[in-house]
Structure 1
Amino acid sequence: MKKERVIEIFKKTGVLQEGHFKLSSGLHSNQYLQCAQVLQYPVYAQELAEGLADKFKDVEIDVVVGPAMGGVTLAYAVGLALEKKTIFTERENGKMTLRRGFRLNEADKVLVVDDVLTTGKSINEVIEVLNETGAELVAVGTLVDRRSKEINFEVPTESMLAVDVKAYDPKECPMCQEELEITKPGSRFL
């Protein structure tokens, strides 16, 4: 899938938003990529998921795992495209865990999928769950990669779109200095 098509879908569905945002990571930004906007359209979600799944066609995968909330729908769609079991992790008492009877086995080769990669916090929390179960992380996939270069999961990491959206420590945030109202769209704040 070509980058131009990904951008076209994101524009049609209002993924990119402008303002003053507190990201799930705690950082602030003047832009927010609300991938839920595209995931509400099953045809677009599946098209993007198939494009992402195609990037891992040569990787041996048993299970696709997504962190709640951003990774649930995408993981399901990627799992459908790969014809693989799909589960999700979620926080319980502030800690990422497997619930609802979901299980991973030591032999499982796992693709972790999330909507947006910024600091890697959610993905790293899922990796901790994998480590606890003995399952093996074999790849990471996201719709949008906006991470800094020093974040490396040491496995193939692919995205449908890499973007350079500025993120600021709250103490250095120019929007805070202008006293602009802040929005907290990330699922960790719900």
Structure 2
Amino acid sequence: MTDETLIAEFRASEALLEGHFLLSSGRHSAHYLQCARVLMDAERAGRLARALVQRLPRDLRSRIDIVVSPAMGGLIIGHEVGRALQRDAIFLERPDGVFHLRRGFRLEEGQKVLMVEDVVTTGLSSREAIAAVAREGGEVIAEAALVDRSNGSVDLGVPFYPLLDINFPTYAEDEVPPELAAIPVTKPGSRA
């Protein structure tokens, strides 16, 4: 899949939003990718997951024991990547603000994990999820995501394989341009 094809998928599903958004990272942006919308069509979600798996080096794919995703955003794409890899897919939740495995999910000591996210901006959620996997006994050997919004600057401490790199500017609270500040802010993400 080309970047243009991927952007077309986001636009066709009305997943590429414009306005003034407060991202889960705490940064502001004039663009938001609502991955839940692009993934609501099961066929499209499967296509995107298969394309994402194809970005992973073959030797890495063979080492993956299980797929783990942070809820909510990574849940659907993580499940579909698990299907594409023919591996189990489980997810982390934050009932108390810290990621944990729940619902009877567990990792075996040393189990090799592919972390799967929808969008990575600063990498904070990903790093928190990677730390949670380590606490649970697993070892994240790589992360894959639908979208990298970091402009290639994110360091997760593991190899990172995004399907699409998008460079929409983001701003700290005190850096928001006046034209963006004039638009009412919306917080569409799942993180409170």
Report the TM-score, using the length of structure 1 for normalisation. Answer: 0.94
Q: Which residue of 2 aligns with 1:168?
A: 171
SS in 2 for 1:75: helix
Q: Which residue of 2 aligns with 1:2?
A: 2
Q: Assess if the C-alpha contact under 8 Å between 2:151 and 2:166 holds in 1.
A: no
CA distance in 1, matches of 2:119, 2:67: 16
Evaluate the alpha carbon distance shift between residue 165 and residue 101 of structure 1 in structure 2; reply closer, same or farther with a 3 A threshold. Answer: same
Partner amino acid, structure 2, of 1:19: G
**Equivalent residue for 1:65?**
68
Checking the alignment, whether the CA contact within 8 Å between 1:146 and 1:162 is kept in structure 2 is: yes
* Alpha-carbon separation, structure 2, partners of 1:148 and 1:4: 17
**Number of aligned residue pairs:** 189
Determine the structure 1 residue equivalent to 2:54.
54
Residue identity matched to 1:145: D
Decide whether the 8 Å contact of 1:142 with 1:158 is kept in 2: yes
Are the aligned partners of 1:170 and 1:176 in contact in 2 as well (CA < 8 Å)? no
Rounded to whole Å, the distance in 2 between the matches of 1:71 and 1:36 is 9
Displaced runs of 4 or more, over 6 A: none
Q: Which residue of 2 aligns with 1:112?
A: 115
Identity across matched positions, percent: 44
- SS of the residue corresponding to residue 94 of structure 2 reads strand
Deviations 1:40-89 (A, max 9, x none): 01111100000111222331100101100000000000000000010000
Query: Which segment is superposed worse, 150-159 or 14-23?
Result: 150-159
1:76 aligns with 2:98: no
Give the distance between the partners of 2:134 and 2:141, measured in 1 at CA: 12
Aligned: 1:102 with 2:66: no
CA contact (8 A) 2:152 2:165 kept: no
Q: Taking structure 1 as reference, are residues 50 and 32 closer, same or farther at Cα in structure 2, changes over 3 Å only?
A: same
Unaligned runs of 5+ in 1: none
Task: Tell me by how many angstroms 1:7 deviates.
Answer: 2.0
Query: Which residue does the alignment assign to 1:89?
Result: 92
Deviation at 1:177, TM superposition (A): 7.0
Structure 1 distance, partners of 2:91, 2:157, is 21
What secondary structure does 1:95 align onto? coil
SS of 1:143's equivalent? strand
1: CA distance, partners of 2:32 / 2:8? 17
Q: Once superposed, what is the RMSD of the aligned Cα atoms?
A: 1.5
Query: Aligned AA for 2:48?
Result: L
Return the TM-score normalized by structure 2: 0.93
Letter in 2 for 1:35: C
Worse overlay, 120-129 or 176-185: 176-185
